[in-house]
Amino acid sequence: MSSQWIQLQPHDEHNQTLQANVHPADWVNPKPSGDYHLVVIGAGSAGLVTAAGAAGLGARVALVERELMGGDCLNVGCVPSKGVIRAARVAATVRDAERYGVHVPDGVEVDFAKAMQRMRRLRAEISPNDSVKRFTEMGIDVFLGSGVFVNDHTLNVTADDGTISELSFKKAVIASGARASAPPIPGLETVSYLTNENLFSLTELPKRFGIIGSGPIGSEMAQTFARLGSEVFLFERGRHLLPREDPDAAAVVQQHFHQDGVHVLLDAKDVKVSAEEDSSIRIHVTQQGEAKEVVVDQLLVAVGRAANTEGLNLEAAGVTYDDSGVEVNDHLQTTNPRIYAAGDICSKYKFTHAADFQARIVIQNALFAIGPFGRKKANDLVIPWATYTSPEVAHVGMYEKDASDAGIETDTYVQHLSDVDRAILDGQDDGFVKVITKKGTDKILGATIVAEHAGDMISEITLAMTAGIGLSKIGAAIHPYPTQAEAIRKLGDQFSRTRLTPWSQRTLDVLRRWNVGS
């Protein structure tokens, strides 16, 4: 098997199980079965959903993957990161147990190697869902190898052993995703650094851990490794963590980072790195005009993604692309109307769940739409996202700045968790729910939640936006007491109180006096 693609370390029983599921060494590609209704290039989230959905609806499907079935999410993204994050949250709970009247004996330690082993075991247990075996049993022809377009209706797949399979298709879907791509940092080529693609191969906890970039990956891993026992230095060139998120949300997270011992270096410019004689790494930055240096044992570069377009010979298929990925219209068609794309290869929303729902649009548009009839639009999707720090930050729809830039006047409603009973009782009252509505109405334009389980809570607002339900109706829906989600209902109450104009208040006073006689 080509080691150019497969990098599952350590080679323990769990990674062997994973590999056997998602890229078995003894796999022999099937003989192509005539013209395929759909050829799917890439077996990450978008590709798997497309292939499974199309096959389930009767289409003849070929699925091509050059690396690991399951893509980034299963192998080097969502699944392993959340496994490690869970271990870190438990460690933080034990550390803070005294606050709740629970005495933990001195000397309790985190076994990093065992935490990582647990992650690898659970990842392997989940992997049958994305396995070659499962998709073959669906009736899909699975081809492991590198796919190259020969023309606009043929794809050649070169297997690990050099065997070439020629796939003819009526329609195709490019779902080849994206990969980590480090920015041009001076000196980076002289050191051995980590990205999300090899971070989860660690078996020893770095004593000093440097992280460049405080986006979702950088922030999640900064807090996680600090809680597991590393001394973490987080470098961000912007003025606050999570630069794409609400500054108020970032401020709450940053306060918790300080509590967890993360050294946050904001406004870190002119980053350079150099190798030390003992294999450690020296990071040079300028912060507010002052030169600073930090020495670390491991460095994670958590900025930069590159679309996986190389080697596909997209020109032969008439598909236009650039450094950001494949060009698509709102129906997810490429410049070749017979070829579609979904997921990270074409979307600004690089999330597993976004890829999933884009794949559903591709199935409809590629196989079941007739001309303009029955076609779905990607822009109609309401896509939430979450960053799994503690507390989590979740968002859906517009930010206030987005609305302002679009010339939309808004009202903003904020419910702080410090006024929500369950959050107080949980000791998780640092956070808030913020909803913006179209001015003078309860139409929800966007929302941000900062809470320990914000990723779960945001779905209520996503559902409301998708179904056209306004904030007042959320306020009218009974929520169990006490829950942190009650914060969302309280925003509905806030909106309802704005409806109490002087005239309506006088009317209510008249009705009250009529009924009680005073």
Q: Strand pairing partners for 283?
A: 273, 294
H or E element at residue 292 = strand 290-296
How far does the chain reach from its first CA to its final CA, in angstroms?
87
What is the Cα–Cα distance from 320 to 326, expressed in whole angstroms? Answer: 6
Per the rule left: phi > 0, alpha: psi between -120 and 50, beta: everything else, 187 is left
> Per residue in 483-503, is it b (16+ CB within 10 Å) or e — as a string?
ebbbbbbbbbebbeeeeeeee
What is the per-residue DSSP string for 246-266?
A: -HHHHHHHHHHHHHTT-EEE-
CB 54 within 8 A of CB 38: yes
Q: Give residue 193's identity as a one-letter amino acid code.
A: Y
What are the two backbone dihedrals, phi and then psi, of residue 117, each rounded to the nearest 5 degrees? -65, -40
Give the contacts of 116 (CB within 8 A, at least 6 positions apart): 84, 200, 202, 203
Which parts are annotated binding residues for FAD? 82, 147, 344
CA-to-CA separations, 197 to 129, 153, 216, in angstroms, rounded: 21, 33, 15
What is the Cα–Cα distance from 170 to 178, expressed in whole angstroms? Answer: 25
Alpha helices, DSSP H only, in 141-295? 196-199, 216-228, 247-259
| Dihedral (Cα; 177, 183, 187, 193), 10-degree rounding | -40
Which parts are annotated binding residues for NAD(+)? 213-220, 236, 304
What is the Cα–Cα distance from 62 to 40, expressed in whole angstroms? Answer: 6
What is the Cα–Cα distance from 204 to 216, expressed in whole angstroms? Answer: 23
Length of the chain: 518
What is the Cα–Cα distance from 410 to 64, expressed in whole angstroms? Answer: 47
What is the Cα–Cα distance from 380 to 347, expressed in whole angstroms? Answer: 14
What is the per-residue DSSP string for 298-331?
A: EEEE---EEES-TTS-GGGGT--EETTEE---TT
Half-sphere exposure of 29 (CA within 13 A, CB side): 25
CB 343 within 8 A of CB 177: yes
Which parts are annotated binding residues? 82, 147, 213-220, 236, 304, 344
Structure tokens at 437: 């509505």
CB 271 within 8 A of CB 285: yes
